Structure formats: structure tokens, C-alpha cells
Structure 1
Amino acid sequence: MMSLRHTAAGAALALAALTGAAPAHADALRTAPAVTAPAAVAALPVFTDGHGLTVLPGATEVHSPTDFTLTVTTKQLSGQHKIRVLLPAGYDAVPERRWPVTYFLHGGGGTVDDVAAAPALHSDSMITVVPDGGLKGWYADWQMQNTAEGAANWETFHLTQVVPFIDANLRTRTDRDHRAVVGLSMGGYGSLHYAEARPDLFGHVAALSGGIDFGMAQVRAAVLATELNLTGAWCAVSSSSSTSGSGKCTGYGPYVDSDAIFGSPYPVFNADRVWKAVDPAAPANLAKLSRTGITLYTGNNDVIDVHTAAASKTVKARLDQLGVPSRLVNYGNGASLAPGCNGGHNYGCWAPAFADYVPRLEAAFAAAG
């Protein structure tokens, strides 16, 4: 039992960035600071409250006519939370047209604005929605609701509130063949888990450098590192020492109990039953993806992605054993993917990975009719 706690401490030196936020070099890819402009907001689609979400009036951030961020509240989560929406350029031009939707799940320590570091996700063939996933939400309904985070039902927020809210307010294609969920790092776990939990919603899934094998002690340790807010770990191994430009590592938010999200991580007397139940690599969960388009990306050239590569290899092998088609792109040191990719856990690799993936997804949407 102590060994896993020591592994969690070791995450301070190696694994906390498995839940990485956007690295410093991604800042140059971000859009200019948003402005809240009543005249510009008036031209945007009108969003009405519903499905448990209340839109804060006057809080919409406008990045461009096709890129804006709503702020909502919900009883499922404490505080206010953002949903960034990227519309195709032709959204207004053909008012009768409905569009496929892709949900992008950011990594730990990240925000909805991380999507600006992956320009391919702003596509003229689909709507992209980026819901807040929390600094360490792990796309889960937490086992403990009385921590410093307060109410933390992230999975319920995303799957039973955000998805129908978007469908009610935008002209979306609502069948699974025209809806995808993609994510990286912590969001890679979230995307694969959501696709397994709700195969009725998502017909396509992509996980980039994801913590997608809860059978690995290293991945469990990364979750514990976020719960314990090991900011020293984050700043030591991440290429980003600041998400705000202040030079201060913001970390993963307040300290919470190590059992807060998925319960006890220790495989003793089935104490880790929740971890096993939601493990994306579990064959019983992977079997739920039999009709889903599955793509995995990972490098293997730093102390983080060497573990995401192992996790991705395990998931691919089990999918093969189940006879479920999938695509794994292990770009190793990054040379085969893009000149700016070093094979590590960063947007220098994730941005070109999305540039490779999005045209394939667009083609799949088109083939679905």
C-alpha cells in the first residue's frame, strides 16, 4: 500500500503533467484577449437556459464572430463554468443546415481556452464545443462532494446537461454518427470513458497522450498528484511554468483527499472498485466501442508520454483481441508527425496530431450522410 503512495510522490518528479495544461509555447497560438461586447454578442446565436444550465447574462466572451465563450452555472458543480463554442464559417450563411459536433476535453490544469492551441479544431465542417473540465475534474462524478472543490459532478454536467443544451441551442446533427468526443491527457481519459459510457451519444472518439489505462500504477499516481495538488511536480516536468504569464505555476487547484475522485486507489479487498469500473482499458468497457470510430495518438519520448504510449498500446491490443477496429498513431520522437513535435506531452505534438485527425473525422461525418 505504501508503494503506491510513494509512486504518487514520484509523480512530483515525473507524472503530474500526464494531466498537462497548454505549454508556454502554445500561448503564441492563442487568440487575442476576448472582449465582452454587447453589440457583438447580439449577433451570436441566442442561448436559452435549460437542461440544468443557467447562462450568465452579459458574461459571454467574444473572440470572433464564430468563436465565443459562454459562462453557465449548474447545481452539479460549484461556481461558474465556461463553455467555448467554435462555429463553422458558414453557420449563418445556410440557416437550414445542421452540423456535426465535436466535443474537445482539455487536460488537467487547463481551461477551455487551450483549444486555441489546436487550430485544426476550428473547422468549417463542424461545430466544436469545449466545456470546462476543471483543473482536476477527471471527467468524473466525484466520490466525495464535500471537499474544497464542493459539488463536482463533471460527468453528469457534460453528458446530461452540456450535450442536450448545445443541441437545443445550435443547429446540430444529433445522431451518434455526427457527434465525436476528443481529448488529450486527462481529457484523453475523459474522451475514451465518455465514448464507452454513452455509445448512444458518440460515434467517434480520439484520445491523445491519454491516461487511458487505470490498471497502470503510474496513471493512478498521476490522478493522485492532481488531487494532492503537487504543483512542484507540475512545474518541474512541464514545459509550462505558468498558464497566466505571471511565472507562477497555478497547479491543480486546492488540495483534496486522495480518495476524492475515484475512491481508494489501492487494490486491496476490492477497495479500488470504482477505478476498475471506469477503467477505459477494461475489456468490458472497450467492447462497448464496437460501433465507434477509435483513434489513439501518443509520443514516447519524454517521462510522461512513455507511459501514455504503454497505455495506448494496451488499449490497442485489447481492441484487436475483441475484433474492434481502431487506429493507433505512436509518433515516437515526433519526427514522423511534425517538425515542431519532440514526441513529448505538449501542444507541439498535439496540434499536428489534431491536424492529422480532423480531416479524417470530417470525412467520416460526410460519409455518414
Structure 2
Amino acid sequence: MDANYRTVPDRDHRAIAGKSSGGYAAMVTPMLRPDVFGALATHTGDAHFETGYRAELPELPERFRALRNEYGGSYGNFLADFRGRVGGLKPSDLELIEVYAYAAAYSADEDGTVYLPFDEFGAIVPDVWRRWLAWDPVVMAVQPEYAEALGSMRALWIDAGDRDEYHLDAGAMAFRRAAAAAGVPDERIHFELFDGAHGGIEHRYPLAITWLSRMLAPTAAT
């Protein structure tokens, strides 16, 4: 980007933005690489896993019933079938691939072994769940190294629909509190719970980009 566009090539003038899982990346990436990003915008980003993910637990028995009835209870069987056809054709595809993808991101070993956070009855596996929580932006933000990175941000746009189906409005609230605790001044945070759900919020993107552009614009002195 810096090589091909007229940018200000430093972290104080560079932001990352995303929605949903992309909003999660927008929260986590600057904490991991504060040398690259100095601002962020997260729209209904995955955060506060105890609310966002565990609130989904009543649905897990149905997911495991589909896995049992259609694939003999084996994710290996599901993935072999999924990879050999057009995805999304079966009603269970999205639910099964979603939970596996989360586990691949949060609780996989370096050799690629994926550990699910629940057993065959849908009960949480504590050791695996702790690995998930270690990647929760709200949990990360209280760790000293990540808190320092978050506190260095020049601008944070945090929003979510107040009727979000995945309870990510609670995640937005918790991350906003974590940012304040990390030392980000109120004037550098735009927080909003707007009238809406998880989808159909594309109108929020230009609002965040406009605000970030204003917050990160070089001053006359620079």
C-alpha cells in the first residue's frame, strides 16, 4: 500500500477496520502489532467470548445431532464431504464449518491438530476453553503487553447493533471498557450501540472511515 499509494507510511497514520470476524481481527491485530497499526474500527467484532460464544450453547446439541446423523459424529467425515462438493448445499454446512473454524483459530496445535471446546454432549472442555479465552480481545486487553499496545492507539471506533443476534453488543461494551482501562482517552474513542442487528450494517463503514481519517490526518505542524 505504501509503495503504490500516497500514504503517510507510519503506524500513527494507519488504521485497520473490519466487521464481525473482521472486527475481531481489527481489535487483535493492533495489540499484536502496535508498530504497524495505530488505530482501529471494529463493527460488531467477536469479543467477550463468555457472552458471545457460550450464549450459543443451546444450539450445540442440534449441531452435534447433525454431525452424528449425517457424518457418524466425525468432523473428519464432514470435512471430507465438504471439500468434495460445493459448500453450503446442506443446512448443517455453515454451523459445522463455523465452529470448526473457530476451534482451528483458537485451539489448534502447531501440527494442525484442532481441539473442539466441547465434548460429544455439548459440555465445555475447560482446558480447551481457556485456550479460546486467551484470544478474547477483552481478556487480551488486560494483559500488560497488550494493554500497553492498546493504550497507545490514537483512535478506536467501536460499535455494534443493540439487537445483535450473537450478543456482540456486550462484546463492544466490554472492549470499550478495556480500552479505557488501558489508558485510551475518551476523546480517542468513538463508541456507539446503534439500532440494528448483526447484518445489514454496511452504512456504518463510511462513518468509521470518515472519523478515523479525521483523527489520523497529519496536522499542519507535521
Fold conserved between structures, TM > 0.5 = yes
Q: Is the 8 A contact 2:52 2:171 kept in 1?
A: no
Quick one: which of 271, 280, 295 aligns to 2:137?
Answer: 280
* Cα separation, 1, equivalents of 2:101 and 2:177: 34
Classify the secondary structure of the residue corresponding to 2:16.
strand
Q: Is the 8 A contact 1:280 1:286 kept in 2?
A: no
The 5 Å alignment of 1:258-297 reads 259-263=103-107, 264=115, 265=117, 266=124, 268=126, 270-282=127-139, 283-284=142-143, 285-292=146-153, 293-297=155-159
* Cα separation, 2, equivalents of 1:302 and 1:280: 18
Q: Which has the higher strand share?
A: 1
* Cα separation, 2, equivalents of 1:169 and 1:324: 32
* Cα separation, 2, equivalents of 1:208 and 1:290: 19
Q: Is the 8 A contact 1:229 1:252 kept in 2?
A: no
Change in 2 beyond 3 A, CA 1:257/1:190: closer
Gaps of 5+ in 1: 1-165, 232-245, 335-342
Quick one: which of 192, 213, 216 aligns to 1:329?
Answer: 192
Q: Is the 8 A contact 1:230 1:251 kept in 2?
A: no
Structure 1, residues 19-46: CA drift from partner, whole Å, max 9, x if none? xxxxxxxxxxxxxxxxxxxxxxxxxxxx
Structure 1, residues 285-328: CA drift from partner, whole Å, max 9, x if none? 34421121111011112433xx1111111111222233323221
Quick one: which of 214, 226, 251 aligns to 2:94?
Answer: 251
Deviation, 1:261, is 2.5
Q: Would you say how many aligned residue pairs link Structure 1 and Structure 2? A: 172
Match of 1:219 in 2: 53
Q: Is the 8 A contact 1:296 1:329 kept in 2?
A: yes
The 5 Å alignment of 1:180-219 reads 180-214=15-49, 216-219=50-53
Change in 2 beyond 3 A, CA 1:209/1:287: same
Deviation, 1:174, is 2.4
State yes or no: 1:315 paired with 2:175.
yes
* Cα separation, 2, equivalents of 1:186 and 1:280: 12
Deviation, 1:187, is 0.8
Classify the secondary structure of the residue corresponding to 2:157.
strand
Q: Is the 8 A contact 2:161 2:198 kept in 1?
A: yes
Classify the secondary structure of the residue corresponding to 2:156.
strand
* Cα root mean square deviation, aligned: 3.6
Change in 2 beyond 3 A, CA 1:230/1:168: farther
